[in-house]
A and B are shown apart, each in its own frame.
Chain A
Amino acid sequence: MSRYNDKEYILSVLAKNKPGVLLRIAGLFSRRCYNILSIVAAQTENMEYSRILIVVSGDDRIVRQVDKQLSKLIDIENVTVLNKEEAVVREHLLLKVERNMENNEKLVQIADVFHANILNVEKDSMIVELTGDATTINSFIELYNPYNIIKILRTGSMAMVK
């Protein structure tokens, strides 16, 4: 349930690589009624830690609560609320689209305009890959929309302070 004046915040969470740590985070969000828009988790350069990036919708007050409640979890080392202006934000997209002789050229053209990679081509479909911020990815999908998209896989936001 998002409300009119809700904004999006990106939280960068450094967590110990313990079993169930994602469950602890997800459980906290659900029981405290915070909204997760997307979540990306992966090991860091240090094998003992994971970096988890969570996009939350809410107001300032909620995001401060999320930050403080997350910080109380024993397996969490550090929580940072990232300012979008001061960070590089990227999402990753895999898109499978129907292909035929008529639209083939158009599909490749769109990919070229966005510097997207064509990863695989089959007789009647192809898979393209794109990395970019949310707006770019949304535009990219919009352009493919008329051509019968078969499947979309999209990660949440990854973000790093500049």
Chain B
Amino acid sequence: MKLTGAQIIMECLIEQGVDTVFGYPGGAVLNIYDALFEYKNRIKHIRTAHEQGAAHAADGYARSTGKTGVCIATSGPGATNLVTGIATAYMDSVPMVAITGNVSCDLLGLDSFQEVDITGITMPVTKHNFLVRNIEDLADTLRKAFIIASSGRKGPVLVDIPKDVTAQKFEYEIKNVDFHIYKTPFPKAERLEKAVKMLRDSEKPFIYTGGGVIAAEASEELKEFAELLDAPVSSSLMCQGGYDQKEARYMGMLGMHGTKTAALAIKNCDLLIAVGTRFSDRVLCNANLFAQHCPIIQIDIDTAEFNKNIDVDLKLKGNAKEILTHINELLPQRQHKQWMEQIFEWKDFYPLEQDCLSEDEVTPKEVIETLDRLTKSNAVIVTEVGQHQMWAAQFYNYRSPRHFITSGGLGTMGFGLGAAIGAQTANLDKKVINIAGDGSFHMNCNELSTAANYNIPVVELIFNNSVLGMVHQWQKLFYQNRFSETNLDKTTNFEMLANAFGVKAFTITKREDIEPVLKEALELNEPVVINCLINPDYNVLPMVPAGGSVEAPILEI
């Protein structure tokens, strides 16, 4: 059957199981949007306010479902506006396919109107990218893009399609493309045996988990493993919900803003097992002072992550789910009663705390804990980047994977609202809440219009302290209170702004407001903004200062 390039794109998206795409129309994608009009019963398109929002929405869609997210933008500025979103997905290994239009082939390379070399620009922030100059390559290229994005260590792929290619006609048929870029490795038997021996010999094992657990859907295997090994579990920011945080053996985050329990446990453990994690500098803090006294076993699908930031003693290369399944079969039940009792003792002694700075004040902790209770620990929590992001990670109880969506690697302020829109689109039965700071909200608040237009019922909870809190905290600690450019203007009226977009808004100013406001906002089936006023002097604690050891966080300032 002969179809236009644009129709072939639609068919390929349907082949890949895509039901929703996020994007923004423009000259070079006119044909694609014309096809979207034709296919609107099969592919839902959400037009964001800005292409960056579309990229973040595709990302939020992918993180909350495990499926590959898709975004579409026109050539030139449309394509460059995607870049931050693509880089965000790349740093957190999120499967995404970005489709950009480009000028027609005969205009390529001539500095034509709205032309940029987007494959050149995105090379460092994509797993791979393509420029499709020939219609006969279009379908297979799209199929390859989806295979690359979702195999091995997942990541974004960009497909740049000149306008004339979307207009040309070509024969289309459904087929599987024979393209094996990646064969999932599996460790050799002797390596697994060595791992099991190390695990059996350990008296004080420590499990450190990362985003790979969620990407590999390995939560159940992880739970079984932790119970078999009788070990405590900590996680990086990317593995919130990879392990049920209400379980006793969960110690909280490890790293720069990790818990004191995790810090003490890593200091005292005799074996560190890292699952699906890349030893990011936010976890290591000072690499030379990280777990130097004990052997490390690392499970990862990307061999380039072995011995990159830290040397490890045993490398198990492959999919975390498959490797843990195998280890669980080989490992006999272990008992570390004393070690676990010690962990429980630390947990009791060093809970995460945040006291009111003055009497009866709203604390972020109380707001998030109330939210946790009201949503029965089952909402999808999205965040922006900064203090509120850490509080969201610390004080909500994530009980299952894909319920915490945050820009961990790139740390993209302005990520959350777009991502929340994407996550809500994919999870109609769930409450999706974007926890934001006033700084991050200001960056991309334009996406409130998207939520309003499509009645996407996200809750935007803004911790409004009129400062760029995290930078402010560092200035307070290390720059002698010289608050350079971190005191934000206080003139924006968030309630009126929300209302202008057609969105309801609430304000929390005192403790008594917290529960009734949250309750009312959560019951609405429409987008809503909550402006929660907090004191700018709340800090994120514990904290490991730059260059410090992960084993010695400071607990108060």
List residues of chain A with CB under 8 Å of any chain B CB: 19-20, 23-24, 27, 31, 61, 64-65, 68-69, 71-75
Cβ contacts B225-237/A at 8 Å (1 or 0 each): 0000000000000
A19-B131, A74-B128, A74-B148 are known contacts. Are A27 and B304 too (CB-CB below 8 A)?
A: no
Flag if A72 contacts B302 (CB, 8 Å): yes
A74-B127, A74-B128, A74-B181 are known contacts. Are A68 and B303 too (CB-CB below 8 A)?
A: yes
Q: How far is the CB of B476 from chain A (nearest CB, A)?
A: 33
Measured in the bound complex, the distance between the Cα atoms of B302 and A65 in whole Å is 12
The 9 closest A-B pairs by CB, nearest first: A68-B304, A74-B128, A68-B303, A69-B304, A31-B124, A27-B123, A74-B181, A27-B124, A72-B304
Query: In this assembly, does B516 line the interface, its C-beta being within 8 Å of a C-beta of chain A?
Result: no
Cβ contacts B105-141/A at 8 Å (1 or 0 each): 0000000000000011001100110010000000000
Measured in the bound complex, the distance between the Cα atoms of B124 and A72 in whole Å is 13
Flag if B120 contacts A20 (CB, 8 Å): yes
Measured in the bound complex, the distance between the Cα atoms of B308 and A68 in whole Å is 10
A74-B148, A74-B181 are known contacts. Are A24 and B304 too (CB-CB below 8 A)?
A: no
Measured in the bound complex, the distance between the Cα atoms of B148 and A23 in whole Å is 20
Interface size class of B (residues with CB under 8 A): 10 to 19
Query: In this assembly, does B307 line the interface, its C-beta being within 8 Å of a C-beta of chain A?
Result: yes
Chain B residue nearest in CB terms to A74: B128
Measured in the bound complex, the distance between the Cα atoms of B308 and A64 in whole Å is 9
Partner of B307, one of A20, A23, A61, A75: A61
Flag if A20 contacts B128 (CB, 8 Å): no
Contact residues in A for B124 (Cβ distance below 8 Å): 27, 31
Q: How far is the CB of A28 from chain B (nearest CB, A)?
A: 8
Contact residues in B for A64 (Cβ distance below 8 Å): 307
Pull 5 A–B residue pairs with CB atoms less than 8 Å apart, ordered by A. A23-B123, A24-B123, A61-B307, A68-B303, A75-B128
Chain A residue nearest in CB terms to B155: A72
Q: How far is the CB of B105 from chain A (nearest CB, A)?
A: 13
Measured in the bound complex, the distance between the Cα atoms of B131 and A61 in whole Å is 34
Q: How far is the CB of B108 from chain A (nearest CB, A)?
A: 11
Chain B residue nearest in CB terms to A69: B304
* Sample of 11 more A-B contacts, CB < 8 Å, known A23-B123, A75-B128: A19-B131, A23-B120, A27-B123, A27-B124, A64-B307, A65-B304, A65-B307, A65-B308, A71-B303, A74-B128, A74-B181
Q: How far is the CB of A71 from chain B (nearest CB, A)?
A: 8
Cβ contacts B268-307/A at 8 Å (1 or 0 each): 0000000000000000000000000000000000111011
Contact residues in B for A23 (Cβ distance below 8 Å): 120, 123
Chain A residue nearest in CB terms to B123: A27
Contact residues in A for B306 (Cβ distance below 8 Å): 68
Contact residues in A for B181 (Cβ distance below 8 Å): 74
Which of A19, A31, A61, A72 has the most chain B CB within a 10 Å cutoff?
A72
Q: How far is the CB of B464 from chain A (nearest CB, A)?
A: 37
Measured in the bound complex, the distance between the Cα atoms of B296 and A97 in whole Å is 59
Q: How far is the CB of A81 from chain B (nearest CB, A)?
A: 14
Contact residues in B for A19 (Cβ distance below 8 Å): 131
Contact residues in B for A65 (Cβ distance below 8 Å): 304, 307-308
A64-B307, A68-B304, A69-B304 are known contacts. Are A20 and B123 too (CB-CB below 8 A)?
A: yes
Chain B residue nearest in CB terms to A64: B307
Contact residues in B for A75 (Cβ distance below 8 Å): 128
Chain A residue nearest in CB terms to B124: A31
Contact residues in B for A69 (Cβ distance below 8 Å): 304
Interface residues of B in 467-515 (CB under 8 A from A): none
